[in-house]
Amino acid sequence: MRVYLDNNATTVVDPHVFSEMVPYFCQMYGNPNSLHQFGSESHPALRKAMDQLYTGINANDEDDIVVTSCATESINWVIKGVYFDKIVNGDKNHIIVSEVEHPAVISACKFLEDLGVHITYLPVNSDGVVEARTLRDFITDKTALVSIMWANNETGMIFPIEEIGAICKEKGVLFHTDGVQAIGKIPVDVQKANVDFMSFSAHKFHGPKGVGGLYIRAGQALSPLFHGGEHMGGRRSGTLNVPGIVGMGKAMELAVDNLDFEKNNVQRLRNKLEDAIEQIPETLIIGTKEQRVPNTILVSVKGIEGEAMLWDLNKNGIAASTGSACASEALESNPVMEAIGAEADLAHTALRLSLSRFTTEDEIDYTIEVLKNAVTRLRSISSTYAYAPEWHVSKL
C-alpha cells in the first residue's frame, strides 16, 4: 500500500482541477493579452477563476488578488515591496514576524537584516502559537510590517489572526499573513481578519504547482517585484499562467466546498491516528487538537530520530516528514520544535503526518499498524532510547 501523509508539503491535484486545466495547454493556448481570438478565448475561464479566488477568501471587488508563481514569490514580494515603500522610501525600519514562520518569510527577513532593517522574531508559547498580546509590546512608530502566518506548516497550529489583525489596524501597521496552510483547512475570510496582504499557493490545496497568489487590500500600494509588460494591472508582469490560474480557481472552489468534509471526515481520521499514537508510551504531540487545523499531527517519539522513522515508514510505502520540506535533505532538527523550547534531542525526534480529503480509513489503519511496529523495532536498537534520561516533557 502507498500512503501519502505529507500534504503540508504538497498535495495531489484534484482530478476535477486537472480536467478544467487540460483545454488551456494544447487548444486555447493564446496569450490572453493578445488582441486576436486565440488570446481572447481564455478570458471567460480566467474571469471565472478569479471570481472563484475572490469568493474563496471573501475578498471585496475593490481588493486585488494578484496571481504569482508560488507563495514564496508572494511572500518575497510583500516583504521586499514594503521594504522599498516604507523603509527605503519612508521613515520606517522595523518588521515583526514570528519565529516559526516558513523559511520564505524568515530568509527574506534575514536578507533585509543584512541591509540594516531591524527584525523582531516573536516568540511562541509551548503550543507553538504567537499570543496576540505579545505583539502589542513590540510595535513601535518605526514598524513597517507585521507578518504572521495563519496556520503553521509543521504543527498545524492556528494563530489568532483576527486579534493580530485588529492590533495592526489599531496601530496603523501593515499586516501580511502567510495563509498557505489555512486555505482548504479552515474558513479564511480576509475582511474579517483585517489583513492587508495574504499569500497562498495552489499546490497546497489540490491545485497545480507553480501558481499562487497575493491578496492585496483595496487601495493598498505595493511596489512590484517584477517589472515588465504590465500584466495583472502592472502589479506583476509576466505572461499569465492560464492553465495554472484556471486550476487554482477550481481548486479554491473545491477547497471551500470541502471545508465541512475537512472538519468532520479528515479530522476524524486524523484523530484516529493521533489517538493511536498517544497509546504508544513516551510520545508527545505538539499543540492542542482544538487550536489545530484538522489534518496535521506533529509528534515526538522518544528515542527515535525523525529520519530513522521516515526511512521505516517509506520502506512500507508511507510518506511523512520531519520538518520543513525545504530543509528535509539536511539532517537538521525541526526548527518549530526548537522554537517551542524542545531540547535538541527532542527536536530531532519530530515526525509530521499530514492528511488530506483523499486520505482513506484503510490508509490510516495501515499507517497505525506500521507506525507501532516501527516504534518497537527502532526503540529496540536505539542507544539514545536505552540511555535517555527521563523525558523533560514538563519543559514543553
Contact 202, 180 (CB under 8 A): no
13 forms beta bridges with: none
Q: Cell numbers of 23, please?
A: 483545454
Q: Which is nearer to ligand PLP, 201 or 283 (CB)?
A: 201
Residue type, position 261, single letter:
F
The grid coordinates listed for 355 are: 492528511
The tally of CA atoms less than 13 A away on the side-chain side of residue 367 is 29
Interatomic CA distance for residues 238 and 258, integer angstroms: 32
Enter the C-alpha cell of residue 75: 511572500
If the CB atoms of residues 8 and 367 are measured against ligand PLP, the closer one turns out to be: 8
Residues that bind ligand PLP (CB under 6 A): 8, 70-72, 102, 104, 149, 153, 178, 180-181, 201, 204, 212
Q: Which of 26, 70, 168, 326 is catalytic?
A: 326
Nearer to ligand PLP, 147 or 359 (CB): 147
- CB-based burial of residue 232 (10 Å sphere; 0-12 exposed, 13-18 middle, 19+ buried)? middle
Give the Cα separation of 299 and 375 in Å (integer): 12
Considering the complex, state which of residue 244 and residue 303 has its C-beta at the smaller distance from ligand PLP: 244
Cell of 186: 479552515
Question: Strand 296-301's sheet: what is its strand order?
Answer: 283-285, 296-301, 350-354
Cα separation, 266 vs 158, whole angstroms: 17
Residue 236 beta carbon to ligand PLP: minimum distance, rounded to whole angstroms: 15
8 A C-beta contact, residue 161 and residue 195: yes
Least CB distance to ligand PLP at residue 212 (A): 5
Q: How many CB atoms within 10 Å of residue 61?
A: 7
Which residue lies nearer to ligand PLP by CB, 100 or 222?
100
CB of 72 to ligand PLP, least distance (A): 3
Find the shortest distance in angstroms from Cβ 95 to ligand PLP.
17
Closer CB to ligand PLP, 88 or 326, in the complex? 326
Question: What are the respective helix, strand and coil percentages of the chain, to the nearest 5?
Answer: 45, 15, 40
* 326 labelled catalytic: yes
We find the least distance from the C-beta atom of residue 379 to ligand PLP, in angstroms, to be 31
Closest approach, Cβ 19 to ligand PLP, in A, equals 22
Contact 352, 286 (CB under 8 A): no
Active site residue ranges:
326
